[in-house]
Amino acid sequence: MSIVQEFNEYRTKMNERIIEEDNKVLKRLFNLDTNAFAEGALDKKTKEIIGLTSSMVLRCDDCVKYHLGKCYELGFTSAQMFEAFSIANLIGGTIVIPHLRRAVEYWEELQKGN
Amino acid sequence: MSIVQEFNEYRTKMNERIIEEDNKVLKRLFNLDTNAFAEGALDKKTKEIIGLTSSMVLRCDDCVKYHLGKCYELGFTSAQMFEAFSIANLIGGTIVIPHLRRAVEYWEELQKGN
Amino acid sequence: MSIVQEFNEYRTKMNERIIEEDNKVLKRLFNLDTNAFAEGALDKKTKEIIGLTSSMVLRCDDCVKYHLGKCYELGFTSAQMFEAFSIANLIGGTIVIPHLRRAVEYWEELQKGN
Amino acid sequence: MSIVQEFNEYRTKMNERIIEEDNKVLKRLFNLDTNAFAEGALDKKTKEIIGLTSSMVLRCDDCVKYHLGKCYELGFTSAQMFEAFSIANLIGGTIVIPHLRRAVEYWEELQKGN
Amino acid sequence: MSIVQEFNEYRTKMNERIIEEDNKVLKRLFNLDTNAFAEGALDKKTKEIIGLTSSMVLRCDDCVKYHLGKCYELGFTSAQMFEAFSIANLIGGTIVIPHLRRAVEYWEELQKGN
Amino acid sequence: MSIVQEFNEYRTKMNERIIEEDNKVLKRLFNLDTNAFAEGALDKKTKEIIGLTSSMVLRCDDCVKYHLGKCYELGFTSAQMFEAFSIANLIGGTIVIPHLRRAVEYWEELQKGN
């Protein structure tokens, strides 16, 4: 199983358990997440790359993986991803580099179609 | 070995090595930790749930696991845990969600009595 | 004008401008905040002190001020506040101390009935 | 003097002093900042809004002000800014709200042409 | 009154009020701070520059001011301070730069003997 | 394969892929990293221990591992490492302790000559 499949499986499984618990605030927070990235005054691609870089400067590997998947679906090129990565690493500093390594590994996996 | 046992074993093993080193500041810091969560003007349960949510907004998985263990011993219900989780995820944002997933997995493991 | 009044005035003024802008995600996020701290499986007091300590470890002075106001309304004692502060400073480290200073100043102002 | 002028004046004055010190690493870091936001595989507008939201989730008011100035020059609309703000507040959580208030105040000042 | 005197006055005044409250955990945490920076296997200068840079990457202006004061007393040169700053800004990223500006302003004030 | 070899192998492999991508900003950021830690007004040892503690308070395990490797090469003693750890844990708080455990495990591995 690829790191992409592994991530998606665990994420789906646990999100389902969280939703089952029927906590209103968490449910609405999960819904808000969907609304925030919908087409609007800013297009979907801009919103996803914002989500990606915000996740990267906050050093959240799983959030980065999620948005990398979305960015891949939306057709971003590697050159564009690396420019986004470079801004995130400059703003967030060299402590972001270990997260960059994992992001690059995941991005390459996505490109293999896994 | 369950994720609960795995966490506790590694934690105990490494804490012992740290204490062996006989660094005064670290030893006192470890002791302070015990004192801070003792019954006082605030009861133990309030202090543990404060420890849990503070650990969650700071996105420290191991700290969350430790306090989940304590909260389980103190008899918190799942509904109470999820309300605490929901506040932590609202205050800390959706970057906390990956830590919520791991917290829920650990909480379910605790409930199995592992 | 006291630091309490100053904080509340600016907060109210700017929140109104934000709501006026009619951004759905922000409006719902603001509403979620109200829901999350409502009486539930956990009582209001526990939720507010969770909000306070989470804000303190995240070093958000304005969030701390907001929750200090709520904690004051809910009748927390100074001894209880300081135990909460002590846990936040232990978990978050000495970098939290400057925020503790401002929190104590604000708490004393609240007690003067400002 | 408006909050925009105040920010720019202090920023320019202190940046000059920093450059005068002739520390190579800092000088190159300052230059990198310019390069990272130049037109490339991603256009300037996308890069600036990435810079804005990354600064907001990291809760750096001065960084937010700087990128708001750039976004204003590049012709972003208020609706676009608020969608970016909403993503930053959702990802970063309600602790970002105090920074949102100051960002909105600064954005309004920019629109007055100050 | 200089920004150095202002900082020290407020810090002393509020620390006294915190100690008056007689919270054991906070008192011990304050004492630990003194012990941690005492001469040991690492000399005082190394410990202070560690305290300074750790405070800077964590973007705590007041902590930076405190350690700048100590570093000034211990006879660090401006060239040495700027090398420490450059490492902190590289590791912590460009979001540290606004804190660097305030640190440089404070350092210059210290050198004026204020 | 030891955790030291594992870390270095993955780090080298992914850094090469990142450099291959030929993104100027990232390449220069990587070079800056080398320059920042070179002998200067501060000696190499002071710079490495600054890098180590800054990485620890920022809770970046991989950054800590990298600087532990450098500190080991430069001949720091365990007593010195633990004093640096104690300052990092005091400034960053008990949320740093899980990172301390992993740092101690890695340091012990380095001493075995792996």
- pLDDT single digits (tens) E16-71: 999 999 999 999 999 999 999 999 999 999 999 999 999 999 999 999 999 999 99
Centre a 10 Å sphere on the Cβ of residue A55 and count the other Cβ atoms it contains. Answer: 27
| Cβ <8 Å between C87 and B50 | yes
Phi/psi at F113 (5° precision): 80, 10
Question: Minimal CA–CA distance to B98: which of B59, B55, B70?
Answer: B59
Q: What integer pLDDT is reported at residue E30 of this predicted model?
A: 96
- Whether residues A25 and B100 touch (CB distance < 8 A) is answered with no
CA–CA gap between residue B103 and residue B56 (Å, rounded)? 9
Residue by residue, DSSP assigns chain C as --HHHHHHHHHHHHHHHHHHTT-HHHHHHHHHHHHHTSSSSS-HHHHHHHHHHHHHHTT-HHHHHHHHHHHHHTT--HHHHHHHHHHHHHHH-GGGHHHHHHHHHHHHHHHTT-
F86 reaches E (C-beta below 8 A) = yes
| Alpha carbon distance F41, E7 (integer Å) | 28
What ipTM did this prediction achieve?
Answer: 0.97
* pLDDT tens-place string over residues A19-46: 999 999 999 999 999 999 999 999 999 9
Measured between CB atoms, which of C57, C91, C95 is closest to F91? C95
- Helix B78-92 crosses helix C44-57 at what angle (to 10 degrees)? 40
Residue count of chain E: 114
Query: Taking 80 as the threshold, does the pLDDT of residue C94 lie above it?
Result: yes
pLDDT > 70 fraction of chain A, expressed in percent and rounded: 100
- Inspect the interface and report whether the beta carbons of D50 and A53 lie closer than 8 Å: yes
Does the distance separating the beta carbons of E25 and C87 come in below 8 Å? yes
Higher confidence at residue E1 or residue A11? A11
Could B95 and D91 be called an inter-chain contact, meaning their C-beta atoms sit closer than 8 Å? Answer: yes
The pTM (predicted TM-score) of the whole model is 0.98
| Best to test chain D binding among E95, E96, E99 (most D CBs inside 10 Å) | E95
Q: What is the pLDDT of residue E1?
A: 87
Q: Report the chain C residue with the minimal C-alpha distance to residue E59.
A: C95
- Residues in A closer than 8 angstroms to D62, CB to CB, are none
Contact call for A29 and C25, based on CB within 8 A: no
B34 → chain F, closest CA residue:
F94
Band (A114; pLDDT cuts 50, 70, 90): confident
Sites in chain F below the pLDDT cut of 50:
none
Is E71 near chain F, with CB under 8 Å? no
Model confidence pLDDT, tens digit, residues F28-37: 999 999 999 9
Contacting subunits of D (3+ beta carbon pairs below 8 A): A, B, C, E, F
Distance from CA of D109 to the nearest CA of C (A): 13
Q: Write the pLDDT tens digit of every residue in D31-73.
A: 999 999 999 999 999 999 999 999 999 999 999 999 999 999 9
Chain C positions touching B47 (Cβ under 8 A) are: 83, 87
CB contact (8 A) between residue F29 and residue A87? no
Calculate mean pLDDT across residues E79-101. Answer: 98
* Straight-line distance from the first to the last Cα atom of chain E, in angstroms, rounded to the nearest whole number: 9
Q: What proportions of chain D, in percent to the nearest 5, are helix, strand and coil?
A: 80, 0, 20
Residues F90, C97 contacting (CB under 8 angstroms): no
CA distance A33 to chain E (A): 26
Q: How would residue B114 be classed by pLDDT, with cut points 50, 70 and 90? A: confident
**Residue burial C77-97, b: 16+ Cβ < 10 Å; e: rest:** eeebbbbbbbbbbbbbbbbbb
Collect all residues of chain A within an 8 Å Cβ-Cβ radius of residue B90: 25, 29
Determine, for residues D87 and C63 on separate chains, whether the beta-carbon distance falls below 8 Å: no
DSSP state of A22: T
Determine whether A61 is exposed, middle or buried from the number of CB atoms within 10 Å of its CB (0-12, 13-18, 19+): middle
Q: How confident is the model at residue B9 (pLDDT cuts 50, 70, 90)?
A: very high
Q: Which of F18, F31, F55, F67 to mutate against chain A (most A CBs within 10 Å)? A: F18
Contact A86, E94 (CB under 8 A): no
Q: Do E82 and D11 touch (CB under 8 A)?
A: no
The domains of chain F, with CATH numbers, are 3-111 (1.20.1290.10)
For residue F50, give how far its alpha carbon lies from the nearest alpha carbon of chain E (Å). Answer: 5
Asked if the model's pLDDT at residue E114 lies above 80, the reply is no
Return d(Cα A45, Cα D67) in angstroms, integer: 20
Span C83-109, average pLDDT: 98
What is the rounded average pLDDT of the residues C93-101? 98
The conformational region for residue D59 under phi > 0 = left, psi -120 to 50 = alpha, else beta, is: left
> In angstroms, rounded to a whole number, what is the distance separating the alpha carbons of residues E16 and E30?
11
Interface test with C, best of A30, A31, A32 (most C CBs within 10 A): A32
Tell me the chain E residues in contact with residue B24 when contact means C-beta distances shorter than 8 Å.
35
Please tell me whether residue D1 adopts helix, strand or coil conformation.
Answer: coil
